[in-house]
Amino acid sequence: MKIIRAENYNDMSRKAANIIAAQVILKPDSVLGLATGGTPLGIYKQLVEWYKKGDVDFSEVTTVNLDEYRGLPKEHNQSYWHFMQVNLFNHINIKANHVYIPNGSDMNIERVCKEYDDIIQSVGGIDLQLLGIGNDGHIGFNEPSTVFETGTHCVNLTESTIEANKRFFQSREEVPKQAYTMGIKAIMQAEKVLMVANGESKADIIKKALFGPVTPEIPASILQIHHDFVLVADKAALSEIDVAI
Ligand code: PGA
């Protein structure tokens, strides 16, 4: 595990974007596992800027996103499909048929999950997986559980996740209660895992996940045993573990 300390959110975003850009430069046909949420926004902004300057080329890149709300059509302005178009894909030269996100509008759980696992396999697995971390320790939408769910599956979102995500909806009631998420297996099989975290609100869970016991009750804790795991976090998110690094 490697921990890279950033001064603040902008610094975290630039450092993480540098790691992703380096990955794409070194291997132009990389498979990137991408994440949504507030934390990666600055990374995507930076990558778009570098693309516009001609510094990074996404023409051969493939992406597989971590998750999608179940029951939300992709056109909905809070779908993760929409998020990715608006914040990244519309602004770079990635091919539309190289972009994969679980199909949230298909309510057939078995079909969606099988299709997505087949896709991850058919693209040859993930070279670099970008992750945020939920306040409850979730990665993707792998919520606290009694087991590490391996394949793509449908989850009931925890109260803590619904509470955290309500800021994006008109009301709490509108937040979908279920999501499709990539499982722990695909994440752990990624060649490299890059987690980003910022702000004091993440300090406690970062400490628990990365320095506590490995347990499905804190899904991110499994990353302690990944062979190439990098955390880029700002000072505030690292404030609980400063003594340890
Ligand atoms: P955030 O979400 O980036 O909006 O904090 C992280 C997550 O839920 O994975």
Residue 65 scores a pLDDT above 60: yes
Alpha-carbon span 81 to 126, nearest angstrom: 19
> Is 159 a catalytic site residue?
no
pLDDT in tens, 44-60: 999 999 999 999 999 99
pLDDT in tens, 181-201: 999 999 999 999 999 999 999
The closest residue, in CA terms, to atom 8 on ligand 1 is 134
Question: Does residue 33 have its Cβ closer than 6 Å to ligand 1?
Answer: no
Alpha-carbon span 242 to 86, nearest angstrom: 36
Query: 82: which residues sit within 8 A by CB, 6+ positions away?
Result: 74, 75, 76
Domain boundaries, position 6: 2-234
CATH number of the domain that residue 219 is part of = 3.40.50.1360
Question: Does residue 219 have its Cβ closer than 6 Å to ligand 1?
Answer: no
Is 243 inside any structural domain?
no
The pairing of strands 229-234 and 192-197 is parallel
The closest residue, in CA terms, to atom 2 on ligand 1 is 37
Question: Does residue 199 have its Cβ closer than 6 Å to ligand 1?
Answer: no
Alpha-carbon span 168 to 175, nearest angstrom: 8
- CB 191, CB 230: distance < 8 Å: no
When the pLDDT of each residue in the chain is averaged and rounded to a whole number, the result is 96
What spacing in Å lies between the alpha carbon of 93 and ligand 1's midpoint? 26
The pairing of strands 2-6 and 128-131 is unpaired
Question: Does residue 137 have its Cβ closer than 6 Å to ligand 1?
Answer: no
Predicted TM-score (pTM) of this structure: 0.96
Residue 5 scores a pLDDT above 70: yes
- CB 133, CB 210: distance < 8 Å: no
Task: Provide the number of structural domains found in the chain.
Answer: 1
- CB 28, CB 177: distance < 8 Å: no
Is 105 inside any structural domain?
yes
Output the pLDDT for position 243.
58
Question: Does residue 216 have its Cβ closer than 6 Å to ligand 1?
Answer: no
What spacing in Å lies between the alpha carbon of 202 and ligand 1's midpoint? 10
pLDDT in tens, 19-43: 999 999 999 999 999 999 999 999 9
What spacing in Å lies between the alpha carbon of 28 and ligand 1's midpoint? 27
pLDDT in tens, 195-220: 999 999 999 999 999 999 999 999 99
Alpha-carbon span 226 to 190, nearest angstrom: 9
Is 239 inside any structural domain?
no
The structure tokens listed for 77 are 């302005």
Catalytic residue among 98, 127, 138, 153: 138
Is 244 inside any structural domain?
no
The structure tokens listed for 65 are 């996103």
What spacing in Å lies between the alpha carbon of 80 and ligand 1's midpoint? 12
Q: What is the dihedral of CA 27, 44, 217, 64, to 10 degrees?
A: -50
